[in-house]
Structure 1
């Protein structure tokens, strides 16, 4: 199947001097193309019956998580604006204090027993999706002696098989840390704003939660910058 090539000026470089750990983990040899097998391109079938949706991270075990409840909604399309139904989105993020529910996260911030930090949602027939969560906090990440990551949410998009997975991050408007973050700033200037959600009053629910819209385009000149475009 033919498709438009990956355009220049969208995705970040593999080796970014301002992002310290890329020096050690970026490839230094030309990639070797390995033909995909049928299993890689057609399996598994990601469906809500096999992978149940979890749409609300603001509650866990019947209890409310700490922090500001928000709603994030969006639409997944291809480069021609056609909706992409049945895409599985896996979502993960830090809690309101800026800490992940992971053993290796030793940031000196409180854990929240009522916040798992994980969600799963499938796009509908028109490519739309929506989740409820808690606005995450910023956290230190030791890129230099006083480096802090902006507030962000991670998204993993799954297609029809293991070989069809894209990963990106969503940021929030007005965050002063964006100007200092090498991961965000590593995306070419003309494309990085596509990673910033927009406040949306239509997504906002009265007396319940503010709403943000984060649409994603899978490829083409308006593609959402991804961590693994190749």
Structure 2
């Protein structure tokens, strides 16, 4: 794969191969007690067909079609600050060989500090924050870097049989240089006691792969006054890939 052009876009040359995931990286689905994984998990194996150049290389320059630049979820407008612990999440998007992926579209969405999403499907009896929408979209720079200012999301109970809670987490969708490099996943916070009790987090069998879902804290002096920092690199495909999360 060639380097990015002067505008940060990817060259059209297709990678020669994509290394497969080793056993234990893909989540074991469907997940007991989480209904969406039953309705969204195929009951039959997929029909395999060889990818063509269209699937491998397209869509090119997707960032031109999807407006980017919403990197501050914590400040809706001047003087309108979201409630909760202010944090910064940043890192790099990398390919399977550890090379940066410039021009990737990175989307983030999350619950507010009370653990409620700004979405009509979330009708839980928890407060909504009028100054927090909870989603943003940016484009990685020439070195594959991304970053969001936001707030630490709250935990919330799962509306399903059995008493279990989702730990604080954020959702990511990453669209890299090709259709095959799209990744939908989640990021968790280090040391949270709900992590090992979360059925979605624990659906990834391999412990080392689960650790790739957990962000790393950054010393406060590297982030700036008022913000706690976390680093979270995202790897598209390959043996060191960031695991998929529903």
Tell me the TM-score normalized by structure 1. 0.89
Q: Deviations over 1:17-43 (max 9, x none)?
A: 464543444211121135667766523
Q: Give the number of equivalent residue pairs.
A: 228
How much does 1:44 deviate? Answer: 6.0
**Equivalent in the alignment of 2:10:** none
Q: Deviations over 1:144-170 (max 9, x none)?
A: 342210000000001245554210000
- Among candidates 70, 75, 99, match of residue 87 of structure 2: 70
**Equivalent in the alignment of 2:236:** 218
Q: Deviations over 1:193-224 (max 9, x none)?
A: 11010101167433220100001111222211
**Equivalent in the alignment of 1:53:** 69
How much does 1:10 deviate? Answer: 1.1
Pairs within 5 Å for 1:147-226: 147-160=164-177, 162=179, 164-188=181-205, 189-201=207-219, 204-226=222-244
Pairs within 5 Å for 1:8-157: 8-17=23-32, 19-33=34-48, 41-43=57-59, 45-47=61-63, 50-62=66-78, 63-157=80-174
Report the Cα distance in structure 2 between the residues aligned to 1:203 and 1:16, rounded to whole angstroms: 40
CA, structure 1 residues 184+90, in 2 after alignment: closer, same or farther (shift >3 Å)?
Answer: same
Assess if the C-alpha contact under 8 Å between 2:182 and 2:236 holds in 1: no
Aligned to 2:245, the other structure's residue is in SS state: coil
Query: Which stretches in structure 1 are left out of the alignment for 5+ residues?
Result: none
CA, structure 1 residues 77+162, in 2 after alignment: closer, same or farther (shift >3 Å)?
Answer: closer
Aligned to 2:146, the other structure's residue is in SS state: strand
Assess if the C-alpha contact under 8 Å between 2:106 and 2:138 holds in 1: yes
**Equivalent in the alignment of 2:7:** none
Tell me the TM-score normalized by structure 2. 0.84
Assess if the C-alpha contact under 8 Å between 1:79 and 1:222 holds in 2: yes
Assess if the C-alpha contact under 8 Å between 1:72 and 1:211 holds in 2: yes
CA, structure 1 residues 21+90, in 2 after alignment: closer, same or farther (shift >3 Å)?
Answer: closer
Q: Deviations over 1:81-117 (max 9, x none)?
A: 1111111101000001111000110111111111110
Query: Which stretches in structure 2 are left out of the alignment for 5+ residues?
Result: 1-15
Aligned to 1:47, the other structure's residue is in SS state: helix
How much does 1:11 deviate? Answer: 1.4
